[in-house]
Amino acid sequence: MPESKLLSQLLNADLHCHSTVSDGTLEPETLAARAKAGGVELWALTDHDEIGGLARARAAALCEGLAWLSGCEISVTFAGTTVHIIGLGFDADDAALREGLARTRGGREARAREMAAGLAQVGIPGAFEGALPFVGNPELISRTHFARFLVERGYCADTGEVFRRYLTEGKPGFVPHRWASLGDAVRWIVQAGGVAVIAHPARYKFTPTEEYALFSEFKAHGGRGVEVVTGSHSAAEALKYGEMALEFDLLASRGSDFHSPDESRIDLGTLPDLPGALTPVWQALADQVQWPA
Ligand code: AMP
Ligand code: MN
Ligand code: MN
Ligand code: MN
């Protein structure tokens, strides 16, 4: 891909996906090959609260001939809800970022044990031990790993059903957890030289007032982008958040949020283009993109 294509809105950029380093089922190298096969030109691996897969992702991307950006997806608690903030193009050796992510990951194991206790009470014993074989990174046990265990044991037909019946607020395996603050997450990314992006905004159950507060506070902390086109947005939601990007003067991002061939509806590289008139986030990341030889 010529470097001038970074100016184009039609670049096939996929800046959101997960590997075995968090809750995806494919290794970083397999994802890079899949991104290439799917036509991706610019790729970022964005594991939850973790950058331990980036060196492998970078090497594999450059080997496949993909332009590459560093990435991660940070779990944040805002207005009592979990919000995800994507970081792109940061220095992965930045000490404050690494320390902040390690702190955000801490507590996942204790939370998982509490989740298992809740599930045991409704007749699902051994969920902690059962989820472990699905976990690629011991510091990153997530609800997704419990969901895979429950599907494997036949409690539910698919992971979506597990979340609906067991793992969301008010359900027996849900344990409220305090993640990073919005300001901290944005600052870790920005001070490491990256761009912070609100992930899949349509997924949060905010009132219009809370959503306005999220966007304004995010900007006040130095956030610059919003995911407009993503695997979990409908066409109407992409339009809505395209308008929000214009209203708040935010850069627009695009990413599949691919986790697994068996679970993800949208594959790497297959998303629709960004709606017109938006400035793609990759235009602001030209200096951070790593190019294949
Ligand atoms: P955690 O960070 O442990 O709270 O897990 C959050 C992850 O669970 C998300 O990143 C998704 O991969 C997955 N997830 C959340 N909600 C759902 C859902 N309704 N269906 C399937 N997966 C979900
Ligand atoms: Mn996930
Ligand atoms: Mn997310
Ligand atoms: Mn994600």
Please check the confidence at residue 7 and state whether its pLDDT lies above 90: no
- Cα angle: 109, vertex 111, 113; to 5 degrees: 70
Cβ atoms of 16 and 230 closer than 8 Å: yes
The arithmetic mean of pLDDT across residues 129-138, rounded, is 98
Q: Exposed/middle/buried for 110, CB within 10 Å: 0-12, 13-18, 19+? A: exposed
CA pair distance 171, 173, nearest whole angstrom = 6
The distance from CA 6 to its chain's CA centroid, rounded to whole angstroms, is 22
Share of the chain above pLDDT 70, in %: 100
Please give the model's pTM, rounded to 2 decimal places.
0.98
CA pair distance 228, 87, nearest whole angstrom = 15
**Token pair recorded at residue 26:** 């494919």
Task: Report the separation in Å between the CA atom of 143 and the middle of ligand 1, taken as the mean of its atom positions.
Answer: 6
- For strand 71-78 and strand 81-88, is the pairing parallel, antiparallel, or unpaired? antiparallel
Q: Exposed/middle/buried for 194, CB within 10 Å: 0-12, 13-18, 19+? A: buried
Nearest to 153 by CA among 142, 164, 162: 162
Ligand 1 pocket test target in 144, 177, 256, 265 with most atoms within 8 Å of CB: 144
**Ligand 1: which residue has its CA nearest to atom 14?**
144
Lining residues, ligand 1, CB within 6 Å: 23, 48, 75, 142-144, 159-160, 163, 259
The arithmetic mean of pLDDT across residues 172-180, rounded, is 97
pLDDT confidence band for 3 (50 / 70 / 90): confident
Cβ atoms of 219 and 250 closer than 8 Å: yes
Share of the chain above pLDDT 90, in %: 96
The arithmetic mean of pLDDT across residues 23-51, rounded, is 98
CA pair distance 198, 214, nearest whole angstrom = 9
pLDDT confidence band for 264 (50 / 70 / 90): confident
